[in-house]
Chain A
Amino acid sequence: MESAAAEPSDSRPREEAAEEKEEEEDGDGAAAAPRSGPPPAEQPPAPAAATMEDCLSKKIEITVSEAEKRTGRNAMNMQETYTAYLIETRAVESQNEGQCSPVDSLWRRYSEFELLRNYLLVIYPHIVVPPLPEKRADFVWHKLSADNMDPDFVERRRIGLENFLLRVASHPVLCQDNIFYSFLTQEGGWKEMVNETGFQLKADSRLKALNATFRVKNPDKRFTELKHYSDELQSVISHLLRVRARVADRLYGVYKVHGNYGRVFSEWSAIEKEMGDGLQSAGHHMDVYAASIDDILEEEEHYADQLKEYLFYAEALRAVCRKHELMQYDLEMAAQDLTSKKQQCEELATGTVRTFSLKGMTSKLFGQETPEQREAKIKVLEEQIQEGEEQLKSKNLEGRDFVKSAWADIERFKEQKNHDLKEALISYAVMQISMCKKGIQVWTNAKECFSKM
């Protein structure tokens, strides 16, 4: 797999995969086109989506190279400890000329990554936004610490954060975002810059979204199916991760228990003449066997992290579906409102009361309104209807554009997911093979020692 940029130290297969896929999609220009449609009203005016060559990931090399413990004061002026991550960026082009371009770097903490992601979620609701690595250690098996300050956890999080940045940088739409670029390059005042965009105000309330999900009548079937798929994906991956953690725990137990042989063999060999050597050396191999599990399981954690990413991606998928439901519900409500206003108008004009209304009742009881009053009402309604029809038109357009661009990104995501998961499964097989080979070696040696007893 060729890659234009030099790989960062802990390159993950998906980084190359992202670039490879870009090359694949190159020949199929159609894939890029839908994304460059008119942006949804909430977005800031964005340029057409980047072609693959323009993607940020091709222009600059991004790494999260270090993690450092820091202490500071939080919003409530209490002392806190947190980890800061060093983001390094370097222009790619000059590397081709043999020059070493300067490295820019700045420190960011996890909460800033979260802020960036929240911003992207609001501003690009039609995009499946890459997830962040988990905030707290989950699906741990007993040896792994659930402590956020644990060096192994911090290391895996560092890799996860780097992966997040690379994903965003290789996304044709997201990579163009200014806030994202500033995140990578501008240390001071970035937080203020994000807050100034006022994106928080544009966020849909949870309650509103939940309401829409329950009440929407005609969502696009594809999104409904996608929602079910993402629920299933989340459920099955969580289950898998949980069982994997238990299996890892048990495997650890099997290997470590063999380590007990070493000492007793050694002590026993002291009283034996002929058997002594065989026992002693076999014991040594049992120690090697017991120790080998640590590296094996360490590697498996990376595999678990790859699955975890897609577990979190399921939530991102659901977010896009929710946005569609919200827009669709909004549309349905607007259409309903328009219909009822039209009806009201008709009733007033013809004097027939088709639908029950309090106004109708009171006018029956207390007498009807004067013609002038009625005329005024009709006028108001007609204006509202006019407005309503225009709004409905634009909402319809918005909705259709959203569906189009969201679905395009979903297709892109599906390909990425299939590629990445397949590779992950292959890498799992490779790990198992390596573990078996190590086992064969150790037990071959042990067998030889035992046969000399």
Chain B
Amino acid sequence: MPTSPSSMINQYKFEDESELRDLFITVDDPESHITAIETFITYRVVTKTSRSEFDSSEYEVRRRYQDFLWLKSKLEEAHPTLIIPPLPEKFIMKGMVERFSEEFIETRRKALHKFLNRIADHPTLTFNEDFKIFLTAQAWELSSHKKQGPGLLSRMGQTVRAVASSVRGGVKNRPEMFTEVNDYMETFSQKINVLDKIAHRIYKEEREYFNEMKEYGPIHTLWSASEEDIADSLKGVASCIDKCCKATEKRMAGLSENLLPIIHEYVLYSEILMGVLKRRDQIQGELDSKVDALANKKAEKDLITEEIGKLEDKVECANNALKADWDRWKQNMQYDMRSAFTNVAENNLRYYEECLATWESFLTSQTAALHVEEDSEDRP
């Protein structure tokens, strides 16, 4: 682990970057809106900044999920080979969470908050114009801005072309590096999906355990009501079990607040990365087909050569952007995984330490009582 100050500055960590940040964003205060046609939720987005490009130093706007989707697609459009952070999914079927349940809204809010902050921390994306408009424009301003630019259909067309070109096998000149990245991402994607399932299963098992434990303690209290001599011991055990039950609830909460969301984000990230790689390949493909065209066509040589020149620049830009972002992504991933799993370990330690203290204090009280009994018997 790097420890020198200079290397720490070079690591793009969330929390550490707070000293270098000049843009602070929070997402909070979900509010429900009911119109004749639909019901939807808006979130408050508060921005504080010292940047000169911003007219003011503080902004407060309300945004709905659709607006976040729009931002994400604009960023993808502008920077096809940059790794745009994941958005929470539209609607999650598993877990049977209601669309407007508090739990669902809170989970989404946290994910949206992370989304915007990751963009803010990104060396390139943070200066994106649409991002700025998203953070600062009033509702009507945003609507009118959204209507400009290529529509949904043209964006779909882009994606279709990208998929088509990759199907055509436009990867013949793919640099070694990106093949490695592709291979890595295929395995990573598999593993992270498995981890996602495991983490959810652990949560489920812990919750079922918690449910049974809730019933376990009270039985001892019930029993103590028909006993005299051992009533105290029984009540003691009941109290210990109840405390352990609460501790297990905390452990569960820790899992759902930390590990589960992070693993889920990286499941989404693995899809995003595959998309980025495809788009890079597509750009490469455009160049390759122009080069082929040059070889075949005798006329328009100059025109094609000029176009090739532009495309070569484009490819080089795309490759460099992706490489830099890939390195950055890998470092962040390592950090996120390390802190998430360390947090899990800490939660479990805290759980076992709490339970240990409870049972040890019960044991002490029992053996102290026994000694008192024995002592009183020794006396004539």
Contacts and interface: CB of A to CB of B under 8 A. Distances in A.
Tell me, yes or no, whether A binds B. Answer: yes
Interface of A: 24, 229, 232-233, 236-237, 239-240, 243-244, 246-247, 249-251, 253-254, 257-258, 260-261, 264, 267-268, 270-271, 274-275, 278, 282, 414, 418, 421-422, 425-426, 428-430, 432-433, 436-437, 439-440, 443-444, 446-447, 450-453
B187 interface: yes
A264 B198 contact: yes
Interface in B208-254: 208-209, 211-213, 215-216, 219-220, 222-223, 226-227, 229-230, 233-234, 236-237, 240, 244
Nearest to B343: A450
A429 B202 contact: no
Contacts of A429: 237, 240, 359, 362-363, 366
A329 B74 CA distance: 93
Nearest to B346: A447
B342 A450 contact: yes
Given A247-B213, A264-B195, A433-B363, A232 B226 contact: yes
Contacts of B359: 429, 432-433, 436
Contacts of A257: 198, 201-202, 205
B206 A254 contact: yes
B363 A254 contact: no
Given A239-B219, A425-B230, A450 B212 contact: no
30 contacts: A24-B377, A236-B222, A240-B219, A240-B220, A243-B219, A247-B212, A247-B216, A250-B205, A251-B209, A253-B209, A264-B191, A267-B187, A268-B187, A271-B187, A275-B337, A414-B229, A422-B366, A425-B236, A429-B359, A433-B356, A436-B353, A439-B348, A439-B352, A440-B353, A443-B349, A444-B349, A447-B342, A451-B342, A453-B334, A453-B337
Contacts of A253: 205, 208-209
B234 A425 contact: yes
Interface string B355-380: 11001101100110010000001000
Contacts of B356: 433, 436-437, 440
A95 B208 CA distance: 54
A253 B213 CA distance: 14
Contacts of B216: 240, 243-244, 247
B226 A267 contact: no
A229 B226 CA distance: 7
Nearest to B248: A254
Interface in B17-62: none
B51 to A, nearest CB: 34
Nearest to A421: B230
B202 A426 contact: no
Given A229-B226, A250-B209, A274-B334, A447 B349 contact: yes
Contacts, number: 143
A233 B225 CA distance: 10
Interface string B170-191: 0000000000000010011001
B209 A233 contact: no
Nearest to B361: A429
B355 A432 contact: yes
Contacts of B222: 236, 239
Contacts of B353: 436, 440
B14 interface: no
B338 A450 contact: yes
Interface of B: 1, 184, 187-188, 191, 194-195, 198, 201-202, 205-206, 208-209, 211-213, 215-216, 219-220, 222-223, 226-227, 229-230, 233-234, 236-237, 240, 244, 334, 337-338, 341-342, 344-346, 348-349, 351-353, 355-356, 359-360, 362-363, 366-367, 370, 377
The main secondary structure of chain B at its interface with chain A is helix
Residue in A251, A268, A432, A447 with the greatest tally of chain B CB atoms within 10 Å? A432
A443 B345 contact: yes
B226 A428 contact: no
Given A422-B233, A436-B352, 11 more contacts: A229-B226, A236-B223, A243-B212, A258-B202, A268-B187, A274-B334, A418-B227, A422-B229, A426-B363, A433-B359, A450-B344
Contacts of A453: 334, 337-338, 341
Residue in B216, B240, B351, B352 with the greatest tally of chain A CB atoms within 10 Å? B352
A243 B215 contact: yes
Given A443-B348, A450-B341, A240 B223 contact: yes
A236 B198 contact: no
Contacts of B227: 418
Contacts of A430: 363
A450 B1 CA distance: 12
A440 B350 CA distance: 9
Contacts of A439: 348, 351-352
A254 B203 CA distance: 8
Contacts of B345: 443-444, 446-447, 450
A232 B225 CA distance: 10
Contacts of A268: 187-188, 191, 195
A237 B223 CA distance: 8
Contact of A271 (B184, B352, B362): B184
A417 B212 CA distance: 28
A251 B191 CA distance: 26
A278 B339 CA distance: 13
A285 to B, nearest CB: 9
Contacts of B215: 243
Contacts of B223: 236-237, 240
A261 B349 contact: no
